[in-house]
Amino acid sequence: MSNNRQEIKKKVKKHIPKDWLTELRIVYRIAMETLNDLKRTGLVNIVIITTMAAILTIFGALFRTALSVSAFAHELGNVLEISVYLKPSADANVAKDRIKTFEHVERVRVIPKEKSWNDLRREIDMPEIDNPLPDTLHVKVDKPENINSVFSKVRTMSVVADMSYAQELAKKIQFLNHVVNTTTIFVVIIVAILTMTIINNTIQLVIQSRKDEIEIMRLMGVSNWYIKIPLVMQGALYGFLGSAVALIPLNLVENMLINVHKFFLIPNPLFAGNLVVLTMFFMGTLFGAGGSLLSIKKHLQV
């Protein structure tokens, strides 16, 4: 019996040589199978790729806009400073050194009372009186959302007479950032569901139309993965090609946003365009393959 087994193994080995060239041929033939499947799907391919491109364009445009909005918010956040008015007896430099040690404080600038007074007199016609202004500190915080905590800490200092900052603006920037981030996540989820549903249905149709062929392949001993991989690749290719088509409208969006940045003199986020393109290709291909896998799991009994 074990002789028989050895004999069969030997025979199988003789007929299925295993070396890198064999593996390479299998990869090549799977790729050809995928292309043949695409060819057989015919004009439907155009409909699917166009639909995928439209969805991915929406995602890409929103994601790219989100990056720009973040850049705007960051830039606005940069101009937000807390003004700290010191008591007449206070030493501005000591207070500055103390505030610098607080968490989230990026920079502290001393505005001597003489400078404030001179600036004021330049702007408004003032009578000849003694300088009533205190020394002022301008405290720059790392992020708009940390202004409140820094503000509270500074207020506890005994040398501080009064304080102020553009609280409403800080809140609005924070809210805008939050909305943009939430929208991006929401869009990613919608894109995932849409692309996976489209690919799922397409691959289901492909499986239905090739039902007899798949049955024959299965009965003839074609490996399950050899049947499945071309279908997964087909789904992934739809995502990839959809992303490639989406590059055209996205390029327009990119140019438009660059102009907006130029107009407001706010620097365009570094590598934003590349990041959007890479993310779109990654997501399109991944969700395309994922949709295909779901369909295979549900409709292909091998």
Partner 1 sequence: MIQLRSVTKKYKNAYALKNVNLDILSGEFVFVVGASGAGKSTLMKLLYKEETPTSGTVMIGGINIANLPPEKVPNLRRCMGIVFQDYKLLQNQSVYDNVAYVIRTLGISTKEINARVQGALKVVGLSDKMRAKPTELSGGEQQRVSIARAIVNGPPLLIADEPTGNLDPKNSMEVMQILDQINQRGITVIVSTHDSAIVNHFRKRVITLENGEVIRDIQAGTYE
Q: Binders of partner 1: how many residues, by CB under 8 A? A: 31
Cα–chain center distance at 150: 30
- Strands of the sheet containing 105-111, edge to edge, are 105-111, 136-141, 81-86, 160-164
CA distance 283 to 190: 12
β partners of residue 86: 160
Among 94, 126, 179, 216, binds partner 1 (CB under 8 A): 216
Amino acid occupying residue 212: D
What are the DSSP calls for 115-169, one per residue? HHHHHHHHHS---S----PPPEEEEEESSGGGHHHHHHHHHT-TTEEEEE--HHH
What DSSP state is assigned to residue 89? T
- Shortest Å, Cβ 287 to partner 1: 27
How far apart are CB 216 and partner 1 at their closest, in Å?
5
For residue 185, the minimal CB distance to partner 1 (Å) is 38
Return the residue of 217, 258, 275, 294 that touches partner 1, per CB under 8 A: 217
Written as one letter, the residue type at 135 is D
SS3 223: coil
Closest approach of Cβ 202 to partner 1, in Å?
20
DSSP string, 233-272: HHHHHHHHHHHHHHHHHHHHHHHHHHHHHHHHT-PPPTTH
CB of 293 to partner 1, least distance (A): 17
Which member of 43, 79, 129, 219 binds partner 1 (CB under 8 A)?
Answer: 219
Q: DSSP string of 23-54?
A: HHHHHHHHHHHHHHHHHHHTTHHHHHHHHHHH
Task: Write out the binding residues for partner 1, residues 227-266 only, by CB under 8 A.
Answer: none
Q: Which is nearer to partner 1, 15 or 122 (CB)?
A: 15
- Least distance (Å) from partner 1 to the CB of residue 33? 9
Name which of 79 and 220 has its Cβ closer to partner 1.
220
Choices 102-110, 201-209, 214-222, 259-267; region in contact with partner 1 by CB under 8 A: 214-222
205 binds partner 1 (CB under 8 A): no
Q: Build a one-symbol-per-residue string for 2-41: x at contacts with partner 1 by CB under 8 A, - elsewhere.
A: x-xx-xx--xx-xxxx---xxxxxx--x------------
Q: Work out how close the CB of 26 gets to partner 1 at its nearest, in angstroms, rounded to a whole number.
A: 4
List C-alpha distances in Å: 11 to 1, 16, 217: 15, 9, 21
> x-or-dash pattern for partner 1, window 95-134, by CB under 8 A?
----------------------------------------
In residues, how long is the chain? Answer: 302
Q: Which of 126, 222 has the CB closer to partner 1?
A: 222
| Chain residues in the site for partner 1 (CB under 8 A) | 1-2, 4-5, 7-8, 11-12, 14-17, 21-26, 29, 213, 215-224, 226
